[in-house]
Structure 1
Amino acid sequence: MGKLGTLTIGQAPRADITPILDTVLPADLPRIHAGVLDGLGWSAIEQDFAPVPGQPVLITKLLDGSSVIIDRARTEAAAQSKLHALEAEGCTTILMLCTGHFETLRTRQARFLEPDRILPPTVAALISSAQLGIIVPLAEQIASEAAKWKPLTLPPICAAASPYQGDLAAVTHAAEDLRVRGAGILLMDCMGFVEDHRRAAAAAGLPVILSNSLISKLASELV
């Protein structure tokens, strides 16, 4: 049996995501959880990862439960060194706990599972020609993350609701908005969306794909 490494763009361990992984992974599978922002306080995060006006951003969660918006390019650069560190600790498979689009991340030998590369073709195959409605955490991500959905038969329609604000009503509202606009199936496009968010979105009466659940099930087949 190998060793699984997970990498969040926030701080590890992610108490919201790891239980979902634990339900499908072998109990005796060794695993290491790491985060791009591990060990950093607010001032360091602000200094090194502050959003750049007009550039793509990501949102993530810290150990204290708060959320932070960070620059995607700086996060990607920092994530690369974290991947090498996980490999140095013996990880044979590394799962990225972020659905954001990254161009340059690579591992030397470990199998690297990137949700932004796995989700679009998998979801496209699952939904066929249905109209997909996507809930993203930030309105800014509707444009910056659009390119990864090219495998879909129809361009997706999107709405924003954060998984980190504790506002399930906002998730339901976004889902209902997408249904009214013609969505037939919904996707929660952030690893921070959990089962409570899926139930909130399902109140709109449509099937809901939860990204972290789907990715966890697929990852379990390889470890």
Structure 2
Amino acid sequence: MSKLGTLTIGQAPRPDIVPILDAYLDDSLMRVHAGVLDGLTPAEIEARFAPVREQPKLVSRLLDGTSVVLDRASTEAAAQDKLDTLEAQGCTTILLLCTGHFERLKTQTARLLEPDRFLPAAVAALTRGAKLGIIVPIPAQIESEAVKWSGLDSPPIYAAASPYRDDLNAVGEAAVDLRQRGADILLMDCMGFVERHRSAARVAGVPTILSNSLMAKIVSEIV
């Protein structure tokens, strides 16, 4: 029997992302939600996952709705343990709820779906011949996550705006900035961006791709 596991690098469940998945997945599909930071206090998170200067960083959401910046290498190591647990719980497919680039995550028999391995190819096909503008949560990710977009027809342009702050104006401003700099299509490169962020970006007057919506549609085809 099919069983879907989702793994956020923050804390589960994700009330921002789960409704988007629910819109495309069959109600009968069994699901288990897990998070790398589940059960940890802010002090424990700081001790184990504090960002390291000059090293790649990730951003995610805690249960109380606040955001946290994490060291990518430490997060990847802990994520592998969580993947092993989800697989032991009988998950046949596991969706990583993060668009960040990971190098060594693996499963034994479950199908592992990493957005970083799906989105670049899909987005490259959707934006062929167009200039892509990418919105990331924090400026530090502009450089660290750039490697995954090397397959685009032309280098993308970037702006930063966090999906975890109650500031939709910042998202709209980032979208307009990218449009003014030549972007024909926008991509929200974080699973934390949801429909209200896409709505805010419409002020730029160009199509906007929502990463979690695109991944939900892809997952619905194979579970």
| SS of the residue 2:24 aligns to | coil
The offset of 1:203, in angstroms, is 1.1
Match of 1:150 in 2: 150
Distance (whole Å) between structure 2 residues aligned to residue 177 and residue 134 of structure 1: 11
Per the alignment, residue 92 of structure 2 pairs with: 92
Paired AA for residue 127 in structure 2: I
Counterparts in 2 of 1:41-80, with a 5 A limit?
41-80=41-80
1:42-93 Cα deviation digits (max 9, x unpaired): 0100000001111111111000111111100000000001001000000000
Letter in 2 for 1:13: P
- SS of equivalent residue, structure 1 residue 53: coil
- Partners in 2 of 1:54 and 1:170 — Cα distance? 25
Q: 4+ residue runs of structure 1 moved beyond 6 angstroms?
A: none
Shift of 1:155: 0.7
Aligned length: 223
* Whole-Å separation in 2 of the counterparts to 1:189 and 1:202: 16
What are the equivalent positions in structure 2 for 1:1-223 lying under 5 Å apart?
1-223=1-223
Amino acid at match of 1:50: A
Q: Deviations over 1:21-43 (max 9, x none)?
A: 00000001000000000000001
Distance (whole Å) between structure 2 residues aligned to residue 54 and residue 211 of structure 1 = 26
Helix, strand or coil: the match of 1:203?
A: helix
CA distance in 2, matches of 1:86, 1:129: 40
Separation in 2, partners of 1:87, 1:168: 37
Offset from partner CA, 1:165-191 (integer Å, 9 cap, x none): 110000000000000100000000000
Aligned-residue offset at 1:133: 0.2
Which consecutive residues of structure 2, in runs of 5 or more, have no partner in the other structure? none
- TM-score if structure 2 supplies the norm length? 0.99
- Identity of paired residues, percent? 68
Aligned residue identity for 2:68: V
How many Å apart are 1:151 and its aligned residue? 1.5
Distance 1:4 1:29 in 2: 7
Residue 201 of structure 1 aligns with an amino acid whose one-letter code is: A
| Secondary structure of 1:105 counterpart | coil
State the TM-score, normalizing by the size of structure 1: 0.99
